[in-house]
Structure 1
Amino acid sequence: MDDFKVPFAAYSALFRAVNNSMFINDKLSNKIVWMSNGNKEVNMEIFNEKRLKSILFKEIKSLYNDRINFHDLNLARLGEGDINNFLIERFYLVEDNDYGYSGLYEIFPKTFRCEKCDDFRIFQNEKEWAEFDVNKCRVSGCDGSYTQVPFVGFCETCGEISSIFHNCENHGHEHLKLIRKDINAPGTWKIRCTECNNEMDMMNFCNHRKHTLSDKDIRKLKPINVNQGGIFRSIVKTTIDIADYGESKDIDIILLGAYLHYWDKYFDEESDLYDEEIIEDVVYYLDMLEKYSSERDRRKAVRRGINPEVFEEGEKIKKDVDNLKEEYDFSYSELNDYFILKKRFSEDEENQNINFYDIVKDNEKSLKEYVKFKREIGIEEITYIPDIHIISSSIGVIKGINRSDENIVPHFEPHWKSQKDKDTFRAFSFPFETEGIMFDLDKEKLVKWIFDNSNKEWDKNISAEEFLFELDECSQEYKNLKTLIHTFSHILINRSSLYTGLNSDSCGELLFPKAGAFLIYSTSNINIGGFSFVFENSLFEWFNNVKLEVNDCVFDPTCIDEHGACFSCVYLPEFVCSHFNDFLDRDVFLGENRFKKGYWE
């Protein structure tokens, strides 16, 4: 058979193409073995790799250590110092063989059965695989051909994925037959040696004790059909790329401080680029403080002409940075992404953000329609962003079954540089430029809705903006908020093809619950200006009948009674959805089942 060393195009569903990802090609299941490192001229530049690395490492560390702790595995946890073993590698996507290969994939699993006599083929070495003829049964007198048996075994204790492999003690693996007692129940299937009639379960037991992965009792592997997905599922983190402000380790907390006006007392800037210049100044003071860390070094610097006030102000700023870290212990990088997008400035007038109010403010009829529309839909502001620098990164895979159950922690595995040496790990990142529309919900209405569906009372001394900003991410109120914003995003993406020219497969989303907002952007490698067109010409039409779509699903009443979301109403393809179709429920708008009051009531 071919060695399958061919280029793999991945523009349509980028993060299905990472190490261990599965895909179907020519009716055969395949697994990607490796991806090329794309740090070459064909890739866009990543402006701030230090910030990206910090954000991604924090996510990887949390997911991997949570898995180890929950399943009590004998694996080394990631510590802060492991960021030095973490690499950012860019996708190398090519369409011309002259530029090499994007990666290598192979048939997986290598298990086949004869469609006529059920002869079962497994392979002990590459020589056996190379000599395998899929169109010719090895059993004498049988003229059948082979078809892939697309099952692997998954251990729910340690997370290992294993191909089916059996050996008869007396006759090896040369005379095996697959016995499918119940075709629809692979757990009942057997492997029989035709020489001695010895019969074995198709699924072995996982010996994680032998491999020192876990001290728990060995358990039988669970059969999973790789053609139905969910074997190795890529976890993608999407962030906004920003300017590189130097060597500062605290860039996100500095950004947050700028938007909270923490630094106003130190600087008096009149420029429209106030935030950016403030950030550069803060970084300069902190860098100087770190560069001249000792009193002796500072005295020498002063003698060379550096103003001693630099160090005095630096100490004050550093104290404020430390205070901010203590005050805000949540993941503020996502909130900063929102601020970066909303407060974006450009000297190029054609690339300025556009508020929809500026489109309609000079037309009295349109302005009245917009005011009414905002009140009915619960939106505060809509902003078109013409030039977004986005980085999508695959940080690892979920192995086996990923239940939508908060009591189960999935088996997350980083992208190790080598399966033998699990010290170095990496993320596959793809930077690109695009356009999008930011939807800011009415914060007053949003917080009122949160408390209408909570047993708590709103302290009116705290503004709606402050309440959202400080909302505990582990609280039920935050989960309700995230569900509302996420469902809203999916509804609009599902309708996008009618008005933007982009189908749902060519859209992406970023959620900003603490800002009460979400961004829908284009992921198409050809920017056709669909969001620009709908923003300027048919924004109201995009929302037409949106309430009717929320009311009905063809699988109601089951859908609305159980979860309020399914593949027939608000689900999106998993490579489009930022949260794998979790945190979705149409009832956030209806208030008929799990919510006391709907957002649109």
Structure 2
Amino acid sequence: MERQPTPLSLDGLLEQEDFLESNPEAEVYPEKLQKVNIASAWVVDNLPLLNYTFGFTRDHPERSRTDLQPFPHPRGEDSTPVYVDQTPSEAIVLQVDRSAIIEWLDEKGSLRGVERPDTDDESDLKEWLLKNVDTNELRDHYSPIEDDLTREVYTLLHSMSHALMRTASGQCGLDSNSISEYVMPSVPAIFLYASSTEHFSLGGMHTLFKTRIHPWVDETIADVQKCVYDPVCEHEDGACHACLHMSEVACESANGNLDRRYLVGDDRGRIPAFWESEYA
């Protein structure tokens, strides 16, 4: 019988007395996550990861002229085969604080002309994000995001995702290219999962979630402060291969819409910091 995905919340984990006895440092996990405005967290086991392919392409300098060629049917039948491989995986799901996003957008000046939701009303916050973040714009990650609010929220969460992915590798034992992302800006949440072609789960994300949240967050905050190419990187795009970029197999949007200044602010005072930091 196939095992179903089994999520475990951080709150649920902290209610286990035997876990706290063996991992007393876990009591600071909620406080650590608050520093990066993460409101809730889960680890998911038995995550069914599907890899599928509809065909193949022949490269052309112009993307619009690159056609997808279907695979021939192995038995010559008049249908198009789709090859699928399912592997068990594991993931960490991080829900970002909705009210913190609104406060940051307001401080940044991105809510001019837009009705601000009640940050004390969770239902109002959920409705506002669903109405104002246009997920249709995210279907093609190779095209610019035209809507300003959608671009701001997505860039913020995508930058968070990359900052956390870059340091997660050293904390969970997985190669940096073996951790991938799925960003859900209208939720808002970040989904980090182990992307492996092996038909078993190594448990690295579970280990990170249960025993390494505190150094993970601390290292991420410290790591994102500076880039070896500053001040050029900070004054240009705020993201490059030395600070936020990941491999194309790990990033869902080809390293677009990234800016670490959204997380730590800039030295000109134009972009407020979304994260708390003793380095600021």
**Alignment-mate amino acid for residue 557 of structure 1:** P
The correspondence of residues 320-469 of structure 1 with structure 2, limited to 5 A, is 352-361=6-15, 362=17, 363=20, 369-394=28-53, 399-400=59-60, 410-411=63-64, 413-417=66-70, 429-453=84-108, 454=110, 455=112, 456-460=114-118, 463-469=124-130
Match of 2:212 among 538, 547, 552: 538
Q: 1:436 to 1:469 in 2, by over 3 A?
A: same
Q: 1:511 to 1:414 in 2, by over 3 A?
A: farther
Q: Could you report, residue by residue, the CA deviation over 1:257-305 in whole angstroms, capped at 9, with x for unpaired residues?
A: xxxxxxxxxxxxxxxxxxxxxxxxxxxxxxxxxxxxxxxxxxxxxxxxx
Q: Could you report, residue by residue, the CA deviation over 1:96-120 in whole angstroms, capped at 9, with x for unpaired residues?
A: xxxxxxxxxxxxxxxxxxxxxxxxx
Matched, 1:599 2:274: yes
* Aligned residue number for residue 169 of structure 2: 497
Matched, 1:575 2:249: yes
Q: Could you report, residue by residue, the CA deviation over 1:243-267 in whole angstroms, capped at 9, with x for unpaired residues?
A: xxxxxxxxxxxxxxxxxxxxxxxxx
Matched, 1:520 2:192: yes
Q: 1:580 to 1:416 in 2, by over 3 A?
A: same
Check whether the contact 2:133–2:186 (CA below 8 A) recurs between aligned residues.
no
**Alignment-mate amino acid for residue 204 of structure 2:** G
Check whether the contact 1:352–1:386 (CA below 8 A) recurs between aligned residues.
yes
**Alignment-mate amino acid for residue 483 of structure 1:** T
Matched, 1:478 2:153: no
**Structure 1 stretches of at least 4 aligned residues deviating more than 4 Å after TM superposition:** 362-368, 394-402, 424-429
3-state SS of 2:160 partner: helix
Check whether the contact 2:29–2:213 (CA below 8 A) recurs between aligned residues.
no
Q: 1:425 to 1:599 in 2, by over 3 A?
A: farther
Q: Could you report, residue by residue, the CA deviation over 1:434-456 in whole angstroms, capped at 9, with x for unpaired residues?
A: 11110111111122222332023
**Alignment-mate amino acid for residue 255 of structure 2:** N
Percent of paired sites with the same residue: 21
Check whether the contact 2:52–2:83 (CA below 8 A) recurs between aligned residues.
yes
> How big is the shift at 1:394?
4.7
Check whether the contact 1:508–1:522 (CA below 8 A) recurs between aligned residues.
yes
Q: Over alpha carbons, which structure has the higher Rg? A: 1
**Alignment-mate amino acid for residue 558 of structure 1:** V
The separation in 2 between residues aligned to 1:557 and 1:427, in whole angstroms, is: 48
Check whether the contact 1:399–1:411 (CA below 8 A) recurs between aligned residues.
no
**Alignment-mate amino acid for residue 358 of structure 1:** G
The separation in 1 between residues aligned to 2:271 and 2:80, in whole angstroms, is: 46
> How big is the shift at 1:561?
1.1
Check whether the contact 2:33–2:39 (CA below 8 A) recurs between aligned residues.
yes
Q: 1:478 to 1:359 in 2, by over 3 A?
A: same
Match of 1:561 among 210, 235, 255: 235
Q: 1:352 to 1:426 in 2, by over 3 A?
A: closer
Check whether the contact 2:32–2:217 (CA below 8 A) recurs between aligned residues.
no
The separation in 1 between residues aligned to 2:219 and 2:71, in whole angstroms, is: 52
The separation in 2 between residues aligned to 1:551 and 1:467, in whole angstroms, is: 31
Segments of structure 1 that go 5 or more residues without pairing to the other structure are 1-46, 48-344, 403-409
Q: TM-score, length-normalised on structure 2?
A: 0.76
Check whether the contact 1:434–1:522 (CA below 8 A) recurs between aligned residues.
yes
How many equivalent residue pairs? 244
Q: TM-score, length-normalised on structure 1?
A: 0.37
The separation in 2 between residues aligned to 1:489 and 1:510, in whole angstroms, is: 9
Q: 1:428 to 1:414 in 2, by over 3 A?
A: farther
> How big is the shift at 1:401?
5.3
The separation in 1 between residues aligned to 2:65 and 2:214, in whole angstroms, is: 42
* Aligned residue number for residue 584 of structure 1: 258
**Alignment-mate amino acid for residue 449 of structure 1:** W
RMSD: 3.1
Segments of structure 2 that go 5 or more residues without pairing to the other structure are 73-78, 138-146
Match of 2:180 among 505, 508, 529: 508
Q: Could you say which structure has the greater relative contact order, defined with CA pairs below 8 angstroms and 6 or more residues apart?
A: 2
The separation in 1 between residues aligned to 2:58 and 2:161, in whole angstroms, is: 24
The separation in 1 between residues aligned to 2:162 and 2:93, in whole angstroms, is: 14
**Alignment-mate amino acid for residue 448 of structure 1:** E
> How big is the shift at 1:428?
5.3
The correspondence of residues 256-275 of structure 1 with structure 2, limited to 5 A, is none
* Aligned residue number for residue 320 of structure 1: none
Check whether the contact 1:588–1:599 (CA below 8 A) recurs between aligned residues.
yes
3-state SS of 1:519 partner: strand
Check whether the contact 2:71–2:81 (CA below 8 A) recurs between aligned residues.
no
Check whether the contact 1:416–1:425 (CA below 8 A) recurs between aligned residues.
no
The correspondence of residues 190-229 of structure 1 with structure 2, limited to 5 A, is none
The separation in 2 between residues aligned to 1:376 and 1:477, in whole angstroms, is: 23
Q: 1:498 to 1:376 in 2, by over 3 A?
A: same
**Alignment-mate amino acid for residue 163 of structure 2:** I
Q: 1:401 to 1:511 in 2, by over 3 A?
A: farther
Q: Could you report, residue by residue, the CA deviation over 1:530-567 in whole angstroms, capped at 9, with x for unpaired residues?
A: 01111111121211232221111111111111111111
**Alignment-mate amino acid for residue 521 of structure 1:** Y
3-state SS of 1:449 partner: helix
Check whether the contact 2:261–2:271 (CA below 8 A) recurs between aligned residues.
no
Check whether the contact 2:60–2:66 (CA below 8 A) recurs between aligned residues.
no
**Alignment-mate amino acid for residue 432 of structure 1:** T
Check whether the contact 1:484–1:588 (CA below 8 A) recurs between aligned residues.
yes
